[in-house]
Amino acid sequence: MLFGTGLAALAVTGDADADTAQAPQAMPPQAGDLLVQATGPQAGQPIGLPLFKTPNTLIQAWAKDPTSGVVRNGSRLNRVLLVKIDTAAMDDATRKRSAEGVVAYSDFCTHAGCWIETYHADNGVILCHCHGSAFDPTHGANVTGGPARAPLASLSLKIVDSHLVAAGPFDGRLGIPQT
Amino acid sequence: MFRRSLFMTAAFAACVAHSARAELATTPAYSNVTQPRLDKPEPQNWLMPRGTYNGWGYSPLNQVTSDNVKRLVPVWSLSTGVVDAHQAPAIVNNGIMFVSTPQNHILAINAKTGDVIWKYERKLPADMQQLHPTNRGVALLGDKVYMATMDSCVVALSATTGKLAWNRCIADWHQGYYMTLAPMAVKDKIVVGVSGGELGIRGFIDALDAETGKEDWKFYTVAAPGETGGNTWKGDSWKTGGVPIWMQGNYDPASDMLYFGTGNGGPWMPDTRPGDNLFSTSAIALNASTGKLKGYHQYHWNDAWDWDEVSAPLLIDVKKNGRNVHELVHAGRDGYLWEMERTPAGKISFVSGQPFVHQDVFKSLDPSTGRPTYNADKVPGTNKKALFCPSLWGGKDWPMEAYNPQTKLLYVPANDNLCAEITGEPLGPREAGSLYVGVPIDDIFSSMRPRPGVDPTKPMKIGQLQAWNLATGKKVWTHDFIDSATWGPVLTTGGNLVFTGGTNDRMFRAFDATTGEMKWQTRLNSGVEGTPSSFMIDGVQYIAVQSGYGVDAERQNNGLKKMLKPRLDHDTVPNEGTVWVFALLDAKTANTAN
């Protein structure tokens, strides 16, 4: 505020993002992208329903351009989380975005940018380990606890050849809301 | 004169931007911060996080006393516009206050009126992770203000305008490096260190030229093969050995020696990095001019409990058996109160160690070196469960102790009666910027246990403010906080007072420094993790502190809510940050009386 408003605009920051913003690797998931595992021994492999082995399974994924083979892991914002939940518990918008009970959201916590690794099926929350933000996957990943102030962006899914594929881009704001 | 005109230019521009704020014209001229001023700050100023290089957190100001503190009232407050853990002190230089916040904002404020002079907002990378969204303060030197940023850079700003002078990035945040500490201004250098111990980094301390940002020296806190201590790591474990520097150090101008506390080794499980893991969980002495290691004392070896020894040891002279001992004193996260002796050459020798909270890991200390032996069943490992006390957050985490030369007491913000149980898991491959801990996340955040024998269904003593007589090695008084840990750094003053916040009831409190009697408390908008400071303007003593709750205080409190259920179910601690400044209701009268 005051004089500082002008100064804030002058503040030098990491400008590297601008250079890579349009690179295919840095682009967020696109409609038709295949989702592949981001972590673990099967990293890079496509994701089918059998991978949801337990009610608590949360799979972290990157989007992969099926034509070029580019994996869109050039920005931490692009990582996707997948959980399989009861379709009957979903609101209409969530159900419309889901595929065979699997829902997809941004894996980038809207509180402080940690990647989310935990789903607790018994109380129905996606939980960020960093600071305890909790999100409801049945209702658009709305915040149900902790310091986050915004829901996770949603990603519509479809199944192609038994594998999960993005049906559109992220719906909702990616990243941490600016104060 | 030139500096004054610079400042007036800034003030004029501000008035143009917002002409109604005519009071800006009353903002005092800026006084450059010189090395002699840092070596011996004026009582009315607070030029560095702990007031003085020795780390005491002591203000000699005595207008506010244990007798009149009940008349302490807020004189102004300012919302920072930021949430999360506001841990930085108000740094004050002749009426100009500098406060940093999470997200690496800096506010320059007229310390008397609360008017904002300028504001700097770091534009952090949009896709960056902030494991600890906080900042622990700025440094002042010459005509500049310095801040270490979350994306591992140091910025130097004009103290009068907030305009960027230089920006120097010292590590790659994509690799897990970040900074939360307050930089240290020492002679012509700005000294910083990196965080990221949970992300597979190799910790270091950097000294940058204060005028240009160019690196002067670097000291790695994880010794490499061939270096002193390099044989305490096996294989390539040193490359991801952690040992972050979370906090600013302390400094002895007479010997030109810097003293830092170092973090734990990474990953967490000790079997993943067998050996002592120098210089983890240690106090280290570095020559400030060269960065050369001159001495160290490792509090505990091959850490298994996430017991970063975060805060730097305090430099205190203690009379022991008729001898004046130049001590380093540290209340450890490992739950022991450590006293060491320092020499001008930098050598650090063990003097004593004793538990200040319940600690069941150490079986004994070597009487000459202080090296502990461990109870094997209290050491977790990969696929090995262990229950141990104190908890992962330790007997005292990052909040700093304070020392009062009048009472000759050390004040420790401690947490007792909490333990933890964890089991390590086999490590997968390290992914840059991702957690590299080796303990399941769910285990970590459900790890807290009450001390065996303590009934959590009844009101539970957890947080404590303790006062210790270092000459006798005895605890003099304790104030217990019920059903709350404390995360409040401590300020002590010449008015026989101790100030601290840190509890989950949002209170900011003042205690009689001699007796421990609570003399004053007030409830603020949010939890108080800020480092309190004190300063004087126009004959009025002020006490400043930031509220704003988050990070580990909030994490631990979430665990307490489960453990103490349902007692804390309805207690919420908001996260919004605010700068608070207090003074006596009739300070001028009190001043006359004094």
Shortest alpha-carbon distance between residue A48 and chain B (Å): 22
Would you say B407 and B255 are in contact if contact means Cβ atoms under 8 Å apart? no
B164/A112 CB distance under 8 A: no
Per CB-CB distance under 8 Å, the chain B contacts of A147 are: 83-84, 550, 554, 575
Domain residue extents for chain A: 23-171
Q: What is the pLDDT along chain A (179 residues), one digit of tens a residue?
A: 233 333 333 333 333 344 445 699 999 999 999 999 999 889 999 999 999 999 999 999 999 999 999 999 999 999 999 999 999 999 999 999 999 999 999 999 999 999 999 999 999 999 998 888 999 999 999 999 988 999 999 999 999 999 999 999 999 999 888 65
Q: Which residue of A has its CA nearest to B427?
A: A40
Whether ipTM tops 0.95, in short, is no
Contacts of B108 in chain A (CB under 8 A): 4
Look at B555 and A132 and tell me if their CB atoms are within 8 Å. yes
Per-residue three-class SS string for B152-189: CEEEEEECCCCCEEEEEECCCHHHCCECCCCCEEECCE
A122 touches chain B (CB under 8 A): no
**Token code pair at residue B353:** 């160690």
pLDDT value of residue A41: 87
Interface test with A, best of B82, B86, B97, B119 (most A CBs within 10 A): B119
Nearest to B560 by CA among B484, B506, B502, B488: B484
Residues B571, B561: Cα–Cα separation, whole Å: 9
If DSSP states are collapsed to H, E and C, what string results for B489-551?
Answer: CCEEECCCEEEECCCCCCEEEEEECCCCCEEEEEECCCCCCCCCEEEEECCEEEEEEEECCCH
Contact B231, B247 (CB under 8 A): no
* Residue B570 pLDDT: 82
B468 phi/psi in degrees, rounded to 5: -120, 135
* Catalytic-labelled residue, pool B151, B306, B416, B483: B306
d(CA B585, CA B289): 46
Most A CBs within 10 A among B121, B166, B569, hence the mutation to make, goes to B121
Choose the closest CB to A131 out of B108, B434, B554: B554
Q: Does B131 contact A114 at a Cβ distance shorter than 8 Å?
A: yes
Provide the number of CB pairs (under 8 Å) joining chain A to chain B.
Answer: 130
Contact with chain A for residue B224, Cβ under 8 A: no
- As given in the structure block, the two tokens for residue B441 are 């996340």
- For B176, nearest residue in chain A (alpha carbons): A114
Among A10, A76, A132, the residue with its CB nearest the CB of B558 is A132
Per-residue pLDDT at A169: 95
Contact A76 B117 (CB under 8 A): no
Torsion of CA B429, B434, B437, B441, to 10 degrees: -110
* Closest in A5, A113, A118 to B441, CB measured: A118
* B84 part of the active site: no
Which residues of chain B have a pLDDT value below 50?
A: 1-23, 592-594
Peptide bond into B489 cis (omega under 30): no
Binding-face residues of B in 103-162 toward A, CB within 8 A: 103, 107-108, 116-131, 133, 151, 153, 155, 161-162
Distance (Å, whole) CA B104 – CA B100? 6
Residues of A in contact with B576 (CB under 8 A): none
Interface check for B8 against chain A (CB to CB < 8 A): the answer is: no
* B37 CA: distance to closest CA in chain A (Å): 28
Residue A17 contacts B where some CB pair is shorter than 8 Å: yes
Q: Is B522 on the interface with A (CB under 8 A)?
A: no
Domain A23-171 in CATH 2.102.10.10? The answer is yes
Stretch 565-584 of chain B: residues touching chain A, C-beta under 8 Å = 575
Chain A residues with CB-CB distance to B18 below 8 A? 1-3
Q: Does B81 touch chain A (CB under 8 A)?
A: yes
Please give the C-alpha separations between residue B549 and each of A68, A148, B576, in angstroms, as whole numbers. Answer: 46, 13, 7
| pLDDT score recorded for residue A147 | 87
Nearest chain A residue to B126 by CA: give it.
A175
Does A179 lie at the interface with B, CB-CB under 8 angstroms?
yes
**In this complex, is the C-beta atom of B392 within 8 Å of any C-beta atom belonging to chain A?**
no
A10 CB within 8 Å of a chain B CB: yes
Beta carbons of B164 and A175 less than 8 Å apart? no
- B21 class by beta-carbon count within 10 Å (0-12 exposed, 13-18 middle, 19+ buried): middle
